Structure 1
Amino acid sequence: MSSTAPSVRGPYAKTARVRRRILDACTEVFAETGYRATTMKEIAERAGISEGGLAHHFASKSELLTAVLERREEEAAGQLAGARGLAALLAMVDIVKDDSRKPGIVELHSTLAAEAISSEHPAHEHYKHRYHSVRRYAELAFEALQREGELVSSLAPFELASAYVALSDGLQLQWLYEPDAIDVDQTLRRFLASVVARLSD
């Protein structure tokens, strides 16, 4: 008897593959044209299915947006799970580094984060919560470093967290314009080295 579980086959596997293809296509189109300007027809064409087939899996554009954002957050949460202190801050850098291999994700995030400032945008609450959560995650990491006597900055942990998140997002936006001129990963690591004692040695 095989010691490995059999792979999922049949209609369930096919449905999962189609959903992944739809979400991949949706991510690309949202990144290129923004959420508001994107149509279900464009997404269906990019995914290689009919509009009816798209509606079978996702009833609306806002439902698609929610699925795209949830998938990205689940991926990021897996990379951050269990990390504390400096390890948590470096894990955030690793996520940004991974994103550099997927420019569509960076472009989507940058586009949606700007669009979602409007309280009427379907992603408004998502991004409001995301920024609060990411800042809090970084703040806890900087607080842990402060307790360990590792911080060498006049800024408070909350201020460092806000600056760190702003630096990350701002560098990624600049990287989209000039990928050869901006090294997001290296700049974030050098920022951490400027405020964390053990990295400045």
Structure 2
Amino acid sequence: MGRARSEERRAEILRAAFEVIAERGYRGATLSAVAERVGLTQQGLLHYFPAKEALLIAVLEERDQWDTGGARIGGRRGWRLELLEALVEYNAMRPGVVQTFSALLGESVTEDHPAREFFTHRYALVRDDMAGVLREEFGDRLPGGLTPERAAPLLTAVMDGLQYQWLLDPESVDMPAVFRDFVGLLRTGEPDREG
């Protein structure tokens, strides 16, 4: 029971940290604010996460677990274009998660940010995953002539860039529809305009 309770408490802390970071950004988030939200002292929180940086990385890893249904990024298990479309639709239903991820990604480009290494490594794995998705769908060349490796950074940029546009103006940017249009361009050179 002790271990299960510890895991429950850890999950509760991660959810609270995610909320605090979404509200204040990483630099504005404090361990004491997270601890207060879960009814702990800051010292009690440090029992689970020895430093703010450790908590941040755990939040980012947890977010990836939510997105991939437990599949490891960099593992390419079951990734297909249809699954990416479903992920974009799923993200459109959880703006707080997308906002937190996007804010942390934006902050991480600075030299001293503790998530910089995480995102650098993550993007290398994601580009590899996207190349695998594209190779599975198209073979060694996409209809426009690009190799999966050359197109993978574009696919990744579209997914993340759409999130920023949608967060700024959700009424004007239908993230799932725009992503479906992009997938249509990948497949045929023409956008998918079914809806």
Tell me which interval the TM-score lies in, with the shorter structure as reference length.
0.7 to 0.9
Partner of 2:17: 26
Q: Secondary structure at the match of 1:36?
A: helix
Q: Which moved more, 1:154-163 or 1:52-61?
A: 154-163
Partner of 2:113: 121
Equivalent residue in structure 2 for 1:130, among 101, 114, 122: 122
Partner of 2:99: 107
1:47 CA drift (Å): 2.3
In structure 1, what residue type is equivalent to 2:97? I
Equivalent residue in structure 2 for 1:82, among 53, 60, 77: 77
Q: Secondary structure at the match of 2:164?
A: helix
In structure 2, what residue type is equivalent to 1:125? E
Q: What are the Cα deviations for residues 21-50 of structure 1, in whole angstroms up to 9, with x where unaligned?
A: 110010011122221221111111222322
Change over 3 Å in CA distance of 1:13–1:140 after alignment to 2 = closer
Question: Which residues in structure 2 correspond to 1:1-201 (within 5 Å)?
Answer: 10-77=1-68, 78=70, 82-83=77-78, 88-147=80-139, 151-197=142-188
Question: Which consecutive residues of structure 2, in runs of 5 or more, have no partner in the other structure?
Answer: none
Q: In 1, are the aligned partners of 2:25 and 2:103 still within 8 Å (CA)?
A: yes
Q: In 1, are the aligned partners of 2:135 and 2:148 still within 8 Å (CA)?
A: yes
TM-score by length of 2: 0.84
Count of residues paired in the alignment: 187
**% of aligned pairs identical?**
34
CA RMSD, Structure 1 to Structure 2 (Å): 2.4
In structure 1, what residue type is equivalent to 2:129? Y
